[in-house]
């Protein structure tokens, strides 16, 4: 393992390091807070990359130890050729939980990260996961008349319009450096490897989700133009123990546009579904 220091003196302390798993896969992870009791939160990003989870992780670290891995191939990290599916990522992150010695883990996933979280719930044969939180998640096949928008086909301007309710949060491509554009392009190509055909869903996943036994919270922005609200309701209905919560004035990233609402919903979920006895 190699480690680097905190990100800066003004924000919550975080540490970045690389961890080599037993299968030889090397993961870059950012940790917020300290692992003091063997529990924690694993946060999984979508196509927007790990930076889209940083603020959410920093806020959550006031209550728990938080780990944010970078999917191999994103942000310039190495990806071996054999790591090419959502199932590969789900298995890798279960191995990561083992490596960190965590139990009672809440897995929170945004967009395709939510799909990975669901796959982890299906494969958690050691019972380390306590709950799933899915934010604008993908994974199941859209019902007729619904579709998941593909940013690679839309371009950055239209994607921003569909992804964010608040105009000030939308990306301005003209303000990006050539290096930033190159990273974004590489991230989209990596996303296509993991979830490209059919785009962002597995036709067989919905029929397996009844086997996820932990409580699940599905959070969906009411103005999400990337993944329709009706899709998220159908996703929630696929789990035996799911709570659905629509987030007003939010698009595809409710944790970025309405963090207070999201944290409140997670707190209620923990109190009523995860740890109802305190």
Residue 146 resides in a domain? yes
Q: What share of the chain is helix, strand, coil (3-state, %, to 5)?
A: 40, 20, 40
49 Cβ partners below 8 Å, 6+ apart?
Answer: 70, 74, 75, 187
DSSP 8-state class, residue 225: S
Q: Which of 203, 204, 199, 190 is nearest to 84 (CA)?
A: 190
End-to-end CA distance of the chain: 36
Give the residue among 49, 52, 42, 15 at the shortest CA–CA distance from 31. 15
- Whether 6 shows a pLDDT value over 60: the answer reads no
* Residue 137 clears pLDDT 70, i.e. is over it: yes
Q: Are 111 and 191 in contact (CB under 8 A)?
A: no
- pLDDT band at residue 5, thresholds of 50, 70 and 90? very low
Domain count, the chain: 1
Burial letters 150-167, b for 16+ CB under 10 A, else e:
bbeebebeebbebbbbee
Q: Does residue 129 surpass a pLDDT of 80? A: yes
Strand partners, 110: 135
Per-residue pLDDT band at 233 (split at 50, 70, 90):
very high
* CA Rg value for the chain: 17
Angle at 62 between CA 56 and CA 67, to 5 degrees: 55
* Residue 173 or residue 245, greater confidence: 245
The pLDDT tens digits for 16-43 are 999 999 988 999 999 999 999 999 999 9
Q: What percentage of the chain reaches a pLDDT higher than 70?
A: 95
CATH code at position 189? 3.40.50.1820
Q: H/E element holding 32?
A: strand 26-32
Report if residue 3 sits inside a domain: no
Could you tell me the pLDDT band of residue 12, with boundaries at 50, 70 and 90?
low
Residue 265: band (very low, low, confident or very high) from pLDDT cuts 50, 70, 90: very high
Q: Is the pLDDT of residue 3 over 80?
A: no
The reply to whether 5 falls in a domain is no
- Is residue 114 a contact partner of residue 135, using CB atoms and an 8 Å limit? yes
Would you state the pLDDT for residue 9? 38
> What's the mean pLDDT in 135-151?
96
In a domain, 2, yes or no: no
Q: Is residue 4 part of a domain?
A: no
Q: Higher model confidence: residue 152 or residue 270?
A: 270
User: Tell me: the pLDDT tens digits for 69-117?
Assistant: 999 999 999 999 999 999 999 999 999 999 999 999 999 999 999 999 9
The per-residue pLDDT for 226 is: 98
Sign for the pseudo-dihedral over CA of 79, 85, 86, 92: negative
pLDDT, tens digit, 9 for 90 and up, residues 165-216? 999 999 898 999 999 999 999 999 999 999 989 999 999 999 999 999 999 9
Q: What is the mean pLDDT of the chain?
A: 93
| Domain span including residue 179 | 13-274
**Residue 37 covered by a domain:** yes
pLDDT given for residue 276 in this prediction: 74
Residue 166 covered by a domain: yes
In a domain, 7, yes or no: no
- Residue 277 in this model has a pLDDT that exceeds 80: no
């Amino acid at each position: 393992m190699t480690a680097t220091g905190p990100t800066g003196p003004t924000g919550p302390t975080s540490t970045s390091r690389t961890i080599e798993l037993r299968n030889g896969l090397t993961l870059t992870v950012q940790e917020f807070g300290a692992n003091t009791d063997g529990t924690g939160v694993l946060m999984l990003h979508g196509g927007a990359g790990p930076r889209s989870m940083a603020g959410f992780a920093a806020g959550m670290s006031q209550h728990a130890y938080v780990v944010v891995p970078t999917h191999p191939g994103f942000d310039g990290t190495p990806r071996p050729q054999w790591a090419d599916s959502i199932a590969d990522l789900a298995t890798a992150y279960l191995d990561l939980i083992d490596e960190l010695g965590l139990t009672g883990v809440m897995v929170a996933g945004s967009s395709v990260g939510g799909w990975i979280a669901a796959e982890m719930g299906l494969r958690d044969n050691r019972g380390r996961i306590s709950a799933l939180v899915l934010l604008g998640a993908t994974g199941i096949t859209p019902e007729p008349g619904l579709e998941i928008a593909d940013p690679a086909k839309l371009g950055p301007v239209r994607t921003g319009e569909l992804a964010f309710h608040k105009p000030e949060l939308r990306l301005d491509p003209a303000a990006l450096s050539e290096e930033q554009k190159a990273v974004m392009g590489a991230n989209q190509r990596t996303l296509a490897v993991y979830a490209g055909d059919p785009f962002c869903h597995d036709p067989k996943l919905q029929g397996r989700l009844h086997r996820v036994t932990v409580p699940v919270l599905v959070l969906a922005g009411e103005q999400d133009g990337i993944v329709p609200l009706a899709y998220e309701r159908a996703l929630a209905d696929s789990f035996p123990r799911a709570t659905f919560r629509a987030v007003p004035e939010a698009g595809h990233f409710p944790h970025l546009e309405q963090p207070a609402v999201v944290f409140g919903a997670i707190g209620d979920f923990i109190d009523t579904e995860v740890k109802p006895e305190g």
